[in-house]
Structures are given as structure tokens and as C-alpha cells.
């Protein structure tokens, strides 16, 4: 696994910040899953990529444990003010585009190399690939395009950022979205 190569690719994909993940900082915290269950985002039990559809915490932890190395990435954007909801949505959309671009490149490389390259990619927020998620009546329509969030896997994003030398908050009138690419 050439992590330096994928670090460069992550920057080319548009991410503002890219760091190699310290694998020991991947600490699954049951309290994060409880935050999902509180359903402040309204997506709990509504999306295959969110809890409980994405699997219980033990399954998520098991998927994380087979990864060897990874990249922690962020899209950071300037807002006009703290009520700039349009700017926040635009930054979220840019983050998703950056995420999809890099993941597609990794998936293409995997198709060429076979099983020697695989990735678990975790994004920010619920999966919005379909207008309405197929959960729970039908299986996920696009498993290759769906993405769970870092939080859905029980990882506390601000702690993960701090532990890997990244800021979580870039100051007044900014927003940062975080994602994780884990290679197996
Ligand atoms: S790809 Fe569609 S069906 Fe699958 S998790 Fe995302 S929104 Fe739901």
C-alpha cells in the first residue's frame, strides 16, 4: 500500500487537509452510538448507512480492526457568518464530491489490482446518494456508492482529529467536514 501516493491523490481530489492516520487512535466509543440513538439528526433507523442499518458496534469495530493503515481528510470552508446555511450546505456538497472522487479512484485501482487493495471509506452525515433511502424494506440500491459516517462506526470525530494533529474547529465562520479512508 503506497499511502504517500493516496495522500497526494486525496489532495488532488480537493481535500483541504490530509494526514496519515495513527491506527491506535481508532477507538470505538459506545457513547457515540448513544448520540446516534438520540436521533438529533433525524436519520437514526432511516438509512442503511446509519445505525442500526450499518450494523451493531461490534460489527463496525470488527471491520475497523482488519484495516492496516488510513488517511484522515477534511474539507474546510469559509462561511460568510454563523448563519450562512447555504455556505454550510455547499461545503457539505464539496466534501461529498471530494470523497466520491477519491473513493472512485481507489475502487478503480482495486478493480485493476484485484484483492490486494480494499478500502473502508467513512464520510460525514447520512448517505444521501438516493433521494429516499431503501431502508428498511429493500436492500441498499448502490452498496458501492453508499457511505456510513465516521460517527456511525462509533468514532468521536473531534477526538480523532485532535489525536491525529488536525484541528476540529478552524475558527469563527468556518466549517470543517471530516472523512476517513481505511485500507486493508
Ligand atoms: S445508496 Fe441509497 S439505498 Fe443505499 S444507503 Fe445510500 S441512500 Fe440508502
pLDDT digits (tens, 9 = 90+) for 124-156: 989 989 999 999 999 999 998 999 999 999 999
- Closest listed residue to residue 73, CA positions, set 182, 184, 180: 180
Give residue 111's pLDDT.
83
Alpha carbon of 34 to those of 44, 57, 77, 150, 153: distances in Å?
11, 11, 29, 14, 12
**Which residues share a beta bridge with 70?**
182
Give residue 57's pLDDT.
95
Ligand 1 pocket test, pick from 52, 54, 135, 152 with the greatest ligand atom count within 8 Å of Cβ, gives 135
For residues 15 and 103, is the Cβ–Cβ distance under 8 A? Answer: no
The protein residue whose alpha carbon is closest to atom 2 in ligand 1 is 130
Give residue 31's pLDDT.
95
What percent of the chain is predicted at pLDDT more than 70?
98
User: Which cell numbers hold the place of 145?
Assistant: 456508492
Instruction: Assess whether the C-beta atom of 48 lies below 6 angstroms from ligand 1.
Output: yes
Query: Helix (H, G, I), strand (E, B), or coil: what is residue 78?
Result: strand
Residue 7 has pLDDT above 90, yes or no: yes
Structural domain count, the chain: 1
What percent of the chain is predicted at pLDDT more than 90?
89
Give residue 154's pLDDT.
96
Contacts of 42 (CB under 8 A, 6+ apart): none
Instruction: Assess whether the C-beta atom of 96 lies below 6 angstroms from ligand 1.
Output: no
For residues 94 and 182, is the Cβ–Cβ distance under 8 A? Answer: no
The protein residue whose alpha carbon is closest to atom 4 in ligand 1 is 140
Distance 136 CA to ligand 1 centre (A): 10
Mean of all residue pLDDT scores within the chain = 94
Residue 95 has pLDDT above 80, yes or no: yes
Q: How many helices (H) and strands (E) does the chain have?
A: 5, 4
Ligand 1 atom at minimal distance to the Cα of residue 127: 6
Terminal Cα distance for the chain, rounded: 9
Residue with cell 461490534: 58
171 is in which domain, residue-wise? 3-183
CA 18 – CA 136 distance, rounded (Å)? 35
- Note the pLDDT tens digit of each residue in 27-57: 999 999 999 999 998 999 999 999 999 999 9
State pTM to two decimals. Answer: 0.93
- Note the pLDDT tens digit of each residue in 111-131: 887 656 689 999 998 998 999
Amino acid at each position: 500500500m503506497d499511502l504517500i501516493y493516496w495522500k497526494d491523490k486525496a489532495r488532488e481530489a480537493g481535500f483541504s487537509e490530509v494526514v496519515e492516520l495513527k491506527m491506535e487512535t481508532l477507538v470505538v466509543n459506545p457513547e457515540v452510538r448513544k448520540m446516534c440513538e438520540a436521533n438529533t439528526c433525524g436519520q437514526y433507523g432511516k438509512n442503511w448507512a446509519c445505525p442500526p442499518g450499518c450494523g451493531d458496534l461490534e460489527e463496525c469495530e470488527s471491520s475497523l480492526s482488519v484495516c492496516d493503515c488510513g488517511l484522515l481528510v477534511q474539507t474546510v470552508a469559509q462561511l460568510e457568518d454563523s448563519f450562512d446555511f447555504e455556505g454550510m450546505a455547499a461545503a457539505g456538497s464539496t466534501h461529498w464530491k471530494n470523497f466520491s472522487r477519491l473513493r472512485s479512484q481507489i475502487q478503480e485501482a482495486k478493480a485493476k489490482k484485484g484483492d490486494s487493495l480494499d478500502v473502508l471509506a467513512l464520510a460525514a452525515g447520512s448517505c444521501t446518494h438516493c433521494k429516499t433511502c431503501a431502508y428498511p424494506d429493500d436492500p441498499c440500491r448502490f452498496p458501492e456508492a453508499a457511505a456510513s459516517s465516521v460517527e456511525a462506526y462509533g468514532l468521536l470525530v473531534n477526538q480523532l482529529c485532535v489525536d491525529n494533529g488536525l484541528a476540529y474547529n478552524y475558527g469563527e465562520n468556518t466549517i470543517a467536514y471530516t472523512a476517513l479512508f481505511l485500507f486493508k
